[in-house]
A and B are shown apart, each in its own frame.
Chain A
Amino acid sequence: MGLKILTEHINVPGINTLETYRKMGGYRSVEKAVKTMTSEEVVEEVKKSGLRGRGGAGFPTGLKWSFLAKPEGKPRYLVCNADESEPGTFKDRVLMEKIPHALIEGMITSSYALGARTSYIYIRGELMFVLRILEKAIAECYAAGLLGENILGSGYSLDLHVHPGGGAYICGEETALLESLEGKRGNPRNKPPFPAVWGLYGCPTVVNNVESIASVPWIINNTGDEYAKIGVGRSTGTKLISASGHINNPGVYEIELGLPVEEFLFSDEYCGGIWKGRKFKAIVAGGSSVPILPGELFLKTAEGTPRLMTYESLSEGGFVSGTMLGSGGFIVMDDTTCIVRNTWNFSRFYHHESCGQCSPCREGTGWMEKILHRLEHGHGNMHDIDLLVNVSKQIEGNTICPLGDAAAWPVASAVRHFRDEFEWHVKHPEKATAPGAVYSGAEDLAFA
């Protein structure tokens, strides 16, 4: 069993209540921070920890905090991004649902570090039942003097509110989230200026993922140096992995970064291997936005080095033969999976979720979905496969926000690694579109 920082007490009965949470050592970081540390010292510990943003981009959290502008006379805000909507990712939801105080403790300690007097948790509107759990936990904190005026007699005051979204993946992008929090359509902003200078209501703002914020209490309790000892190299600490798809034990697992991917996928402690005794075909390892990899390239790099669960190891080989850890959403596919259908499904998702503000994404995501729909249903031609890649290139890098890249990468990588399966759909549409049809390799392509 690896070290558990976030989920150690997840199965303790009553851990969702303040009483039990405190009994298990909760809110010590608030006590320590507001009573014995300056806000700069808290920031410094988080910097030392090497903690990287757990929402997908992997940007160092402490560094992000240090960019926060501190002009006189303007409030500063901390906003927690709990708009977890990336297909394959459901870790934040499980954490908030089971241990709401883990996030709230992190919010108080982090708000203190940033000098915020009002902070918000922006949670996706579909998770209304989790919002109610959080609001109940927040009410407990107000009653116990952990929120509100003069927290624990320290002189520091903080208000914390939960804000529901309305159903829009794009609001996971931090500036779209801020627009949405201001009561507008979730259209991402042009950057610069970044939220650290011009964020919520035009004030300096930090937006952090749930898991990042929930990791802060342990860092403050045990020091950043201790946290940095967990993991490998620049991938420090533990990470929540959401495991879904064709595996025996889907669920959320906390792992120490550096765990061999093979162990994670096949050991009974974690995913428990591929279901129904089938073979491992492919995986999307960081939430739907990252490039898909064939099983063999996921387990070992192109050079044959076994991969580890770290930001660096998973991205080894770049986009040619690697992928990204992203938000840690593992979508595993067995050998009965149709890659074309899966790619079409993802493409439909991005088409549905594009905000429509900038032209390459608004028009391009729909175009890609239509081409993939055609290919999947046996109406495509060879030329469509190249067109698809070409359209994805016209979107990638040319949009206001990263949704364009997120829509382009799964498509480009699917064609890169599984081109023969796309060609099979063109050459033998009657076979490829038959119910339950599975592409089984080059022989199919030649003689089917």
Chain B
Amino acid sequence: MEQTTTQNEVQFSDAAMAEIRRYISHYPADRKKSAILPILHIAQAEFGGWVSPEVQDKVAEILDIQPIEVYEVATFYTMFNLKPVGKHVLEVCRTGPCMLRGADHLIEHLESRLGCHVGENSADGLFTLKTVECLAACGMGPMLQIREKYYENLDPQKMDQLLDDLSKE
């Protein structure tokens, strides 16, 4: 279940809280902070694909740490979106092996099809186009990631099909 954030009121669902507690139990009792990355992932999935400052403050509260400790971590790791994103975040690999197999063309194609540049949201707000570094799929490039799923061995035709399918969702 997705939830939205409102100012000063961030509430995880019961299922998410259970998952958070499960992760915290993996580390020594005095090392709760270890769970910060798993919890940020859960938070991002829970609150519309990004982690707002309010969400990060909530994570700090759960872990009994200062909010700055969460900000420091959330801004270090590239998977956490710090600004609102579209419904589907397209993370296209741009690194060497994928580039050799045509990632540049795929990115150009996406930019023209979505009418936005890398780092921006499409006009309809449905898609966010991001480029990312190597996703450990070098033999299956070019490829991209949407949420937890990899789409591999892509070309512009397959890409169009995928975007059509996602638009209908």
In the complex, A touching B, CB below 8 Å?
Answer: yes
A interface vs B, CB < 8 Å? 84-90, 92-93, 120, 124-129, 132, 159, 161, 163-169, 180-186, 201, 242-246, 250-252, 284, 288, 329, 331, 333, 337, 341-342, 345-346, 349, 352-353, 355
B interface vs A, CB < 8 Å? 26, 28, 31-38, 40-41, 63, 72-73, 76-80, 94-97, 99-101, 132-141, 145, 148-150
Contact A93 B136 (CB under 8 A): yes
Contact A84 B136 (CB under 8 A): yes
Which residues of chain B are near A346, meaning CB under 8 Å?
A: 95-96
Instruction: Point out the residue from A86, A125, A163 that lies within 8 Å of B26, measured CB to CB.
Output: A163
With A85-B134, A90-B138, A127-B136 in contact, is A164–B41 under 8 Å at CB? Answer: yes
Which residues of chain A are near B34, meaning CB under 8 Å?
A: 163, 181-183
Contact A167 B77 (CB under 8 A): yes
Contact A125 B77 (CB under 8 A): yes
A-B contact pairs, 21 of them (CB 8 A): A85-B136, A87-B134, A90-B136, A120-B26, A126-B145, A128-B148, A163-B34, A166-B80, A182-B31, A182-B34, A183-B36, A184-B73, A201-B28, A244-B100, A244-B141, A246-B101, A250-B140, A331-B100, A342-B100, A345-B95, A345-B99
Instruction: Point out the residue from B72, B73, B100, B140 that lies within 8 Å of A246, measured CB to CB.
Output: B100
Which residues of chain A are near B72, meaning CB under 8 Å?
A: 184-185
Instruction: Output the nearest chain A residue to B145 by Cβ-Cβ distance.
Output: A126
Contact B138 A166 (CB under 8 A): no
Which residues of chain B are near A168, meaning CB under 8 Å?
A: 76-78
Instruction: For residue A361, give the distance in angstroms from its CB to the closest CB of chain B.
Output: 15
Contact A163 B136 (CB under 8 A): no
Contact count A vs B, C-beta below 8 Å: 145
Contact A183 B77 (CB under 8 A): no
Which residues of chain B are near A181, meaning CB under 8 Å?
A: 34
Which residues of chain A are near B76, meaning CB under 8 Å?
A: 166, 168, 185-186, 355
Which residues of chain A are near B26, meaning CB under 8 Å?
A: 120, 159, 161, 163
Instruction: Point out the residue from A120, A244, A333 that lies within 8 Å of B139, measured CB to CB.
Output: A244
Instruction: For residue A252, give the distance in angstroms from its CB to the closest CB of chain B.
Output: 7
Which residues of chain B are near A288, meaning CB under 8 Å?
A: 95-96, 134
Contact B139 A242 (CB under 8 A): yes
With A331-B100, A345-B96 in contact, is A250–B139 under 8 Å at CB? Answer: yes
Instruction: For residue B93, give the distance in angstroms from its CB to the closest CB of chain A.
Output: 9
Contact A129 B148 (CB under 8 A): yes
Which residues of chain A are near B31, meaning CB under 8 Å?
A: 182-183, 201
Contact A245 B100 (CB under 8 A): yes
Instruction: For residue B104, give the distance in angstroms from its CB to the closest CB of chain A.
Output: 9
Which residues of chain A are near B140, meaning CB under 8 Å?
A: 90, 250
Which residues of chain B are near A84, meaning CB under 8 Å?
A: 136
Q: What's the Cα separation between A166 and B51 when bound, in Å?
A: 13
Q: What's the Cα separation between A160 and B134 when bound, in Å?
A: 27
